[in-house]
Amino acid sequence: MVPMLLPTLLAAFIAGASVIPGADVDSAVDDRQMFQKLEASTTALAEKGEGSLRRDARLEQCKRTRTDAVHLPSKQFAGTPLDGAEVYRRAAQASVLIGSAYKCDKCSKWHNTLASGFAVTADGVIATNHHVAAGATGEAMGVLTSDGRFFPVVEVLATDKAHDVALIRVDAKNLAFLPLRDDAPAGTLIRCYSHPANTFGCISEGIITRYFKMNEPERNGAVFLQTTADYARGSSGGPIMDAFGNAVGMVASTSPVFTATPLPHASTKDAKPVAPATPSQQMVRHNCATARALLDLTRPQ
């Protein structure tokens, strides 16, 4: 059993009584409004070049593998499991939409890549993926909270490419945040909160199906977890939460599984060859970074 969270720390997690976009019929979220606000803010940041972390400096800071500038809370939520509405509320208050403004080679307009993330301290430390923090083209990066506040990313504190985790910093105070739990076993009931495919603030549920060593190139056997909770592009960096409101992991990638392509039947002189059937998708493996990988960014090597 994880220890109970101290009352003073609990207040920081659930602070604020602002309306949560998408939480009920009276606070339906306007996806277009939220994404347009983020894109306008990151574009202005890129054009002005003031108060933000520029591309070259960001990519250089992504080489940092540890930080001693962050003290992550050691206490975690425990006790009575939360209902789905409360998990949604806590996830939404702590999560952010991350935008990165860039220009393509086909027009003169600014574009945005979009991802997810969540606060892990009250003073502006945000967890997301290495592949989000280290995006090669972004000229300026910022985050949008569920209550509509925008903050430029001012520093990359540390990243781990193999485990696909990163800690970035914004100049913010009194953020709602999620504690990290690194001992949730396979079979644990979880929920995922993220911003998939230009859809702001979606929650899905499932279980941790297993922990495994990923042997893909550049992963080098790094440990990830898999879940049955659904997500899609734009969800990268979204928290995977247990029933008490702790972040046990973070969205990283998907691996679809298809049926094998059957061989065509042998043709004869009087029969036409049978074309092979199109492979069909059987399942999607949902690969997530672990909370331990995030915690390790703040621990000495």
Domains of the chain in start order, with CATH, are: 31-67+77-257+283-296 (2.40.10.120)
Give 264's pLDDT tier (boundaries 50, 70, 90): low
More confident residue, 149 or 75: 149
Closest by CA to 8, choosing from 73, 69, 85, 91, is 73
Give 255's pLDDT tier (boundaries 50, 70, 90): confident
Give 262's pLDDT tier (boundaries 50, 70, 90): low
Judging by DSSP bridges, how do beta strands 222-227 and 189-194 pair with one another? unpaired
The arithmetic mean of pLDDT across residues 5-18, rounded, is 45
Judging by DSSP bridges, how do beta strands 110-119 and 95-103 pair with one another? antiparallel
Give 1's pLDDT tier (boundaries 50, 70, 90): very low
Give 216's pLDDT tier (boundaries 50, 70, 90): confident
C-alpha to C-alpha distance for 142 and 100, rounded to whole angstroms: 7
Average pLDDT, the chain: 89
DSSP 198: G
C-alpha to C-alpha distance for 143 and 114, rounded to whole angstroms: 10
pTM: 0.87
Closest by CA to 165, choosing from 3, 2, 299, 51, is 299
Residues 6 or more apart whose CB falls under 8 angstroms from that of 162 comprise 218, 219, 220, 222
Residues 69-82 have pLDDT tens digits of 998 876 788 889 99
pLDDT > 90 fraction of the chain, expressed in percent and rounded:
74
User: Is it the case that residue 165 has pLDDT exceeding 70?
Assistant: yes
Closest by CA to 124, choosing from 55, 176, 188, is 176
User: Is it the case that residue 134 has pLDDT exceeding 90?
Assistant: yes
User: Is it the case that residue 301 has pLDDT exceeding 80?
Assistant: no
DSSP for 201-267, please give it: SEEEEEEEEEEEEE-STTTTTEEEEEES----TT-TTPEEE-TTS-EEEEEEEEEEEEPPPPPPPPP
pLDDT > 70 fraction of the chain, expressed in percent and rounded:
88
Closest by CA to 2, choosing from 87, 73, 71, 70, is 73
Which residue reads 């800071």 in tokens?
Answer: 61
